[in-house]
Amino acid sequence: MKLQATSGSQNDKRLILLGIFSIAILFLIYSRFENPGITPDAISSIERLSAMFYLLLAISFGVIGIGLRKYQKRVAATGNQTAISMICNSTISKSAARTFIITFVIYGFFFSMTSGILVYQPEVIFSYHYGAEVPSAHITPCCGPIGYMPKFVAYLTEHVGIQIIPINLVLQVTVSYLVATNTALAVNAISITKKTGGLGSIGATTGLFIACPTCVGSFLSLFVGATSVVAFTVAVTELQTLFIAITIPILILTPFIISRKILKVQDQN
């Protein structure tokens, strides 16, 4: 039995690491194929390579997701009273899973809007201003910094489009997952507070406040005058990727802080 548990531990961790390393290697390999002097004859080959890039990226996300799910189930099944066990339990139960999925989807949509993945421009007609065929989709295989190519662009309607940049897609999935985990755990903490007390409203809602790093720009824009809103939006957009990357360690740390508080309250009661 212990051998099976050890084997399961190694398998789920290997899946997670395999997916993460696969994404990093994909970015590095593709960057070596980018060449501003690319010939027209090679464009079709690079476009096929770009399509393969996104297929392998999707597979890597799937491998990480499977590994994380197996890891959560295995740790939760141990029944240990630890912070990591509390986090895993708060994401696999039915009620927590519902909160997790809803938060993941809603926040993912919000992230798409604020990061420019989902584009809505009511004042612009894509076919007129950009000469685009609507509906249509294409991949821009070259050229840009590592992580920013290949770019996938789709025109869904005259005012709605999709622009996927690999690094933004990775950030969206990562941050949405962490936000959903924080929210599920915070909701669990709030329910415990109502039953037992002692956790404190601040401690119980910490995850809910920290769970929206992309909200900062939207919140601050409320205090900016109409004449400055365009310049402010541009400035926030340029800094948003960096800001979100900085908040990832906070989103990872916060569940441990909340879960330790929950365990302390439970021990006291």
Q: What pLDDT is attached to residue 54?
A: 92
As for how many domains the chain has, the answer is 1
Cα gap 11→67, rounded to integer Å: 8
pLDDT by residue (tens digit) across 243-263? 666 777 877 887 887 777 777
Nearest alpha-carbon partner for 84 in 258, 267, 264, 268:
258
Which residues face 162 on adjacent strands? 118, 154
- C-alpha pair distances (Å), 204 with each of 13, 45, 138, 199, 261: 30, 53, 45, 6, 9
Report yes or no on 132 lying in a domain: no
Report yes or no on 222 lying in a domain: yes
Report yes or no on 143 lying in a domain: no
Q: What pLDDT is attached to residue 247?
A: 74
Phi and psi dihedrals of 156, rounded to 5?
Answer: -85, -45
Residue 135: is the preceding peptide bond cis (ω within 30°)?
yes
Q: What pLDDT is attached to residue 49?
A: 84
Q: Which residues of the chain have pLDDT under 70?
A: 1-10, 34-43, 192-245, 265-269
Nearest alpha-carbon partner for 91 in 104, 78, 81:
104
Nearest alpha-carbon partner for 199 in 96, 268, 253, 255:
268
Report yes or no on 137 lying in a domain: no
Residues 89, 110, 149, CA angle at the centre, nearest 5°?
Answer: 100
Task: Give yes or no for a contact between 83 and 92, defined as CB atoms under 8 angstroms apart.
Answer: no
Report yes or no on 136 lying in a domain: no
Report yes or no on 20 lying in a domain: no
pTM over 0.95: no
Report yes or no on 157 lying in a domain: no
Range of the domain at 233: 95-110+165-269
Q: What pLDDT is attached to residue 235?
A: 46
Structure tokens at 176: 């949405």
Report yes or no on 133 lying in a domain: no
